[in-house]
Structure 1
Amino acid sequence: MRALNLITLFLVIVGGLNWLLVGLFEFDLVAALFGGQDAAVSRIVYVLVGASAVWQLMPFIRAMSVGETAAEANIGHHHR
Structure 2
Amino acid sequence: MSGLQRTCLTILIIGGINWGLIGFFRFDLISVIFGGAYTALSRIIFGIVGLCALYCLTILFKPSEELERGREPEIR
TM-score (norm. length: structure 2)? 0.80
C-alpha distance in 2 between matches for 1:10 and 1:4: 10
Identity of aligned residues (%): 37
Give 5+ residue unaligned stretches, structure 2: 72-76
Greater relative contact order (CA < 8 Å, ≥ 6 in sequence): 2
Backbone CA RMSD of aligned residues: 2.5
Offset of residue 19 of structure 1: 0.4
Higher helix content, 1 or 2: 1
Flag the structure with larger Rg.
Answer: 2
C-alpha distance in 2 between matches for 1:31 and 1:4: 25
Residue 32 (structure 1) aligns with: 32
Report the number of matched residues: 71
TM-score (norm. length: structure 1)? 0.76
C-alpha distance in 1 between matches for 2:42 and 2:24: 20
Offset of residue 2 of structure 1: 1.9
Residue 53 (structure 1) aligns with: 53
**SS of the counterpart of 1:9?**
helix
Give 5+ residue unaligned stretches, structure 1: none
C-alpha distance in 2 between matches for 1:71 and 1:27: 39
C-alpha distance in 1 between matches for 2:16 and 2:34: 17
Offset of residue 71 of structure 1: 8.5
